[in-house]
C-alpha cells in the first residue's frame, strides 16, 4: 500500500524555552490491520506522566481493503512529557459503530529526528467480507458466513404488509431477527393502512392522495388542463375515482339527438349525445316513440287500431273504439276453402278451392260490401292485389293467374314445374302505372319473377319447400320462408334473404331451438324488422341483424300467416280459427272463430282481412 505521513498529534518538551522547535522530533507510528475492513480507525495519545493530558484523532482508512498499514507521525506538544501511551481502535462500519479491535503501546518522542516505527496491529474477523465483523470479534454481523446478511436492523411497524414501515411510528431497537410479521426494515410509509401506498414507486393512480409518499399528490397527472369529454363537452382533467385514471369533467350538459329510422318523418332513434355539432341527419327534437312503425309518432291522431298512434302512452284513447271484426263466420256444406286473401284499397279478393269442381273459387269483395263469386280454373293457394285492383294468383300444378276487377274469367299462366304448388306471391306496383313486378315461390324451392304480360321466369333456386314471400319495396331484398323436408326425418326451417337485383340469396341463421317445423308466413316491416311464423306457435323477429325467437303463440298453436306494422302490432292467423295480436309483449285474441284461418293481409292497421276454410272470412275496417 502507499505509505503516508500524517501529523495528527504534537507533543512538546516540558519546560522548554520559548524558542524551542516543537516539531524537531517526531514519533513514527505504523498501524496495521488485517482480516477485515475497518469502518473507522482512531489513534489516542496520552501523557503517561499526567493522564489528564490526552488527545484523539481519526486516521483516514483507504476504502475497500481488508488489510493495510496506516502511517502516522506524532509531534511534541507544549506542556507534555516525552513519554506517551498510544492506543489504536478500529470500529465497524463507521466511527459510531461497534469497537472490533484495539492495540496499545508505550513510546517516547525523540527530541530530534524521527523515531523508529512503533508497530500497532488491529485484528478482527469478517469471514464473509460484507463490512460487518463477526460477533466473536465484538462485531454485529448477524451471519458472518453469509455476505448477504449484514448487521442488526431497526424495524418499523408495517400494518399493511407492503414492506414499508410507518413513517409516523418510532423504530424498534436494532435486531438481527424480524420482531413480528407486521414489521419492515424500511420506513417511510405515509399510509400504513393501504398496501398500495409506499415509497419507491411512481404515482400510479389519480385519487387525490400521495401514493408514493413523496409529499406530493397526483404529481404525474396533468390535472386541471383543458379537455373534452366523450361527448365533446369542454371541461378540465380530474381524477376518476372509479378506476384511478384521469377523466375530463365538464359541467356542460350534452344535447341528445335523434333520427328517423322508420321513414315516417319523425325522429326517435338514438342519434347520439354530444356538445359538438349535431350528427348528420339528426334533430334534437324527440318526436317518435316507436321507430319500428310508421303508424306511431308524436303529432299523429290516435285511431282505432290497437296502437299508440300519438305516442301519449295510451292505446286507442281517441274517439270511441270498437275492435270487433265483421264478415262471414263460415260453416255448413257447399262452402269454398279460402286459402288466400289479398286486401286492396277499394276491394279485397279471396281465392282457394271451390266446394265442387265447377264451383266458384275466387271472390271479389267491394268496399261497400258487395261480393262477386267467379271461377278461375285450378286450385289457388296465394293471392296479391295491385293498386288497380287486379288480383294475381298462384296455385297447384305450377299455375299462375290474373284477374281484373271487371273481368269475367281469369288469365292463366304456367311455370315450368307442373308438379309444384305456387305457395306464395307478392308484388310491387310500377311507379308509372304499368304492369307490377311480382315474385312467386313454389313448393319445389323456386323463386319466380313475373312481369305480365311476359311469362314468369325462374329467378332463384333455393331447393327447399317454400311457403311464403314478402318484401317492402321494389329495390329491397325479399324474405322467403319454408322448410327443407325431402327425405329428412325432421324438417329444417329456413329463412332466405333474396336480392331483387340478381336473385342471389343468403340463408339466414335461425335460433337452434327452432327445428322440426314449417315456417308458413313472413312479413317484412322495413330493413330492421321482419317477422316469421310457423308450426307449434313459433314466432320469430328479425332485429339487430339476426333472427330471434319471441313469445310463442298461446298453446303453441300452428300459425299459418302473419302481417306486421311494427314491433308492437303483429297479427297472425291460426289453424284453430283465431286472429291473434302481439303488442310487443303478449299475445291476445283479436278474432275468435271456429274454422281454421289460412291467410291474412292488410293495407294498414285499420284495414285488415283474414280468410279460411268453410267459406270463412273476416275484416277489421276502421276509418
The CATH number of the domain holding residue 98 is: 2.60.40
User: Residue 49: how many CA atoms within 13 Å on its side-chain side?
Assistant: 10
Q: Rounded to whole angstroms, how far apart are CA atoms 503 and 254?
A: 46
Collapse the DSSP code of 461 into the 3-class scheme (helix H, G, I; strand E, B; otherwise coil) and give the result: strand
- Would you say residue 18 has pLDDT above 50? no
| Count of beta carbons in the 10 Å neighbourhood of residue 208 | 12
For residue 51, the enclosing domain spans: 23-137
Percentage of residues of the chain with pLDDT beyond 90: 86
Domain assignment present for 13: no
Beta-bridged to residue 156, according to DSSP, are 184
Percentage of residues of the chain with pLDDT beyond 70: 96
pLDDT in tens, 138-189: 999 999 999 999 999 899 999 999 999 999 999 988 889 888 777 888 999 9
Between 12 and 499, name the one with better pLDDT: 499
Choose one of 91, 108, 137: the last residue of a domain: 137
CB 302 within 8 A of CB 317: yes
- Mean pLDDT within 34-50: 94
Choose one of 137, 165, 190: the last residue of a domain: 137
| Count of beta carbons in the 10 Å neighbourhood of residue 592 | 11
Number of structural domains the chain divides into:
2
Choose one of 107, 137, 167: the last residue of a domain: 137
Domain assignment present for 155: no
Using left for φ > 0, alpha for ψ between -120 and 50, and beta otherwise, residue 266 falls in: beta
| Count of beta carbons in the 10 Å neighbourhood of residue 200 | 11
Q: What is the CA radius of gyration of the chain?
A: 52
pLDDT in tens, 400-415: 999 999 999 999 999 9
The residue whose grid cell reads 465497524 is: 92
Q: Rounded to whole angstroms, how far apart are CA atoms 124 and 137?
A: 5
DSSP H or E segment with residue 459:
strand 457-461
Sign of CA pseudo-dihedral 274, 280, 285, 290: negative
Cβ neighbors of 452 (< 8 A, separation 6 or more) are 392, 402, 411, 413, 435, 436, 438
Q: How does the average pLDDT of the chain come out, rounded?
A: 93
Supply the pLDDT for residue 12.
34
Domain assignment present for 178: no
CB 530 within 8 A of CB 540: no
Supply the pLDDT for residue 20.
52
Domain assignment present for 237: no
- Phi, psi values for residue 535, rounded to 5°: -65, 160
CB 69 within 8 A of CB 30: yes
pLDDT in tens, 547-571: 999 999 999 999 999 999 999 999 9
Supply the pLDDT for residue 452.
97
User: In angstroms, what CA-CA distances link 465 with 423, 494, 532, 623?
Assistant: 9, 9, 15, 39
Domain assignment present for 313: no
CATH number at residue 499: 2.130.10.10
Supply the pLDDT for residue 1.
29
CB 501 within 8 A of CB 493: no
CB 203 within 8 A of CB 197: no
CB 562 within 8 A of CB 581: no
Domain assignment present for 272: no
Exposed/middle/buried for residue 432 (C-beta within 10 Å: 0-12, 13-18, 19+): exposed
Collapse the DSSP code of 396 into the 3-class scheme (helix H, G, I; strand E, B; otherwise coil) and give the result: helix
CB 522 within 8 A of CB 495: yes
Domain assignment present for 177: no
Domain assignment present for 132: yes
Amino acid at each position: 500500500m502507499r505509505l503516508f505521513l500524517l501529523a495528527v498529534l504534537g507533543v512538546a518538551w516540558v519546560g522548554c524555552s520559548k524558542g524551542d522547535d516543537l516539531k524537531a522530533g517526531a514519533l513514527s507510528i505504523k498501524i496495521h490491520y488485517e482480516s477485515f475492513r475497518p469502518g473507522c480507525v482512531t489513534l489516542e495519545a496520552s501523557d503517561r506522566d499526567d493522564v489528564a493530558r490526552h488527545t484523539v484523532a481519526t486516521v483516514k482508512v483507504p476504502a475497500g481493503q481488508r488489510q493495510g498499514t496506516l502511517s502516522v507521525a506524532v509531534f511534541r506538544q507544549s506542556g507534555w512529557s516525552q513519554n506517551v501511551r498510544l492506543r489504536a481502535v478500529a470500529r465497524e462500519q463507521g466511527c459510531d459503530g461497534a469497537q472490533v479491535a484495539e492495540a496499545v503501546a508505550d513510546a517516547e518522542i525523540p527530541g530530534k529526528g524521527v523515531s523508529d516505527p512503533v508497530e500497532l496491529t488491529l485484528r478482527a474477523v469478517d469471514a464473509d467480507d460484507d463490512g460487518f465483523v463477526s460477533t466473536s470479534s465484538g462485531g454485529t454481523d448477524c451471519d458472518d458466513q453469509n455476505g448477504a446478511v449484514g448487521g442488526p436492523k431497526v424495524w418499523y411497524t408495517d400494518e399493511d404488509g407492503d414492506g414499508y414501515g410507518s413513517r409516523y411510528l418510532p423504530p424498534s431497537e436494532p435486531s438481527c431477527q424480524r420482531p413480528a410479521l407486521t414489521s419492515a426494515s424500511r420506513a417511510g410509509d405515509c399510509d400504513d393502512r393501504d398496501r398500495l401506498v409506499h415509497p419507491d414507486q411512481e404515482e400510479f393512480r389519480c385519487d387525490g392522495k400521495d401514493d408514493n409518499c413523496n409529499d406530493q399528490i397526483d404529481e404525474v397527472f396533468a390535472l386541471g388542463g383543458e379537455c373534452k369529454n366523450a361527448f365533446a363537452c369542454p371541461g378540465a382533467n380530474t381524477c376518476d375515482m372509479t378506476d384511478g385514471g384521469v377523466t375530463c369533467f365538464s359541467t356542460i350538459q350534452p344535447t341528445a339527438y335523434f333520427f328517423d329510422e322508420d321513414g315516417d318523418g319523425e325522429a326517435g332513434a338514438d342519434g347520439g349525445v354530444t356538445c359538438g355539432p349535431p350528427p348528420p341527419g339528426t334533430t334534437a327534437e324527440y318526436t317518435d316513440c316507436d321507430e319500428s312503425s310508421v303508424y306511431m309518432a308524436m303529432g299523429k291522431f290516435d285511431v282505432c287500431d290497437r296502437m299508440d298512434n300519438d305516442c301519449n302512452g295510451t292505446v286507442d284513447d281517441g274517439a270511441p273504439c270498437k275492435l270487433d271484426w265483421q264478415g262471414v263466420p263460415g260453416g255448413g256444406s257447399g262452402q269454398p276453402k279460402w286459402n288466400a286473401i289479398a286486401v286492396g284499397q277499394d276491394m279485397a279478393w279471396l281465392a282457394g278451392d271451390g266446394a265442387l269442381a265447377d264451383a266458384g273459387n275466387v271472390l271479389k269483395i267491394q268496399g261497400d260490401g258487395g261480393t262477386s263469386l267467379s271461377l278461375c280454373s285450378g286450385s289457388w293457394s296465394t293471392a296479391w292485389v295491385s293498386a288497380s285492383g287486379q288480383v294475381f294468383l298462384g296455385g297447384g300444378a305450377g299455375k299462375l293467374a290474373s284477374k281484373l276487377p271487371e273481368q269475367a274469367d281469369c288469365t292463366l299462366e304456367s311455370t315450368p314445374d307442373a308438379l309444384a304448388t305456387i305457395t306464395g306471391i307478392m308484388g310491387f306496383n310500377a311507379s308509372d302505372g304499368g304492369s307490377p313486378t311480382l315474385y312467386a315461390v313454389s313448393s319445389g324451392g323456386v323463386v319466380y319473377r313475373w312481369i305480365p304480360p311476359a311469362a314468369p321466369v325462374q329467378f332463384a333456386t333455393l331447393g327447399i319447400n317454400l311457403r311464403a314471400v314478402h318484401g317492402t319495396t321494389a329495390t329491397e331484398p325479399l324474405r322467403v320462408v319454408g322448410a327443407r323436408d325431402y327425405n329428412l326425418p325432421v324438417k329444417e326451417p329456413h329463412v332466405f334473404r333474396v336480392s331483387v337485383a340478381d336473385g342471389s340469396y343468403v340463408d339466414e341463421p335461425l335460433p337452434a331451438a327452432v327445428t322440426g317445423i314449417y315456417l308458413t308466413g313472413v312479413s317484412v316491416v322495413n330493413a330492421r324488422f321482419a317477422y316469421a311464423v310457423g308450426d307449434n306457435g313459433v314466432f320469430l323477429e328479425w332485429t339487430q341483424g339476426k333472427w330471434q325467437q319471441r313469445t310463442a303463440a298461446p298453446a303453441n298453436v300452428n300459425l299459418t300467416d302473419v302481417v306486421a306494422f311494427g314491433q308492437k302490432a303483429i297479427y297472425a292467423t291460426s289453424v284453430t280459427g283465431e286472429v291473434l295480436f302481439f303488442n310487443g309483449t303478449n299475445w291476445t285474441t283479436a278474432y275468435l272463430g271456429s274454422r281454421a284461418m289460412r291467410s291474412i293481409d292488410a293495407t294498414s292497421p285499420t284495414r285488415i282481412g283474414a280468410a279460411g276454410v268453410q267459406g270463412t272470412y273476416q275484416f277489421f275496417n276502421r276509418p
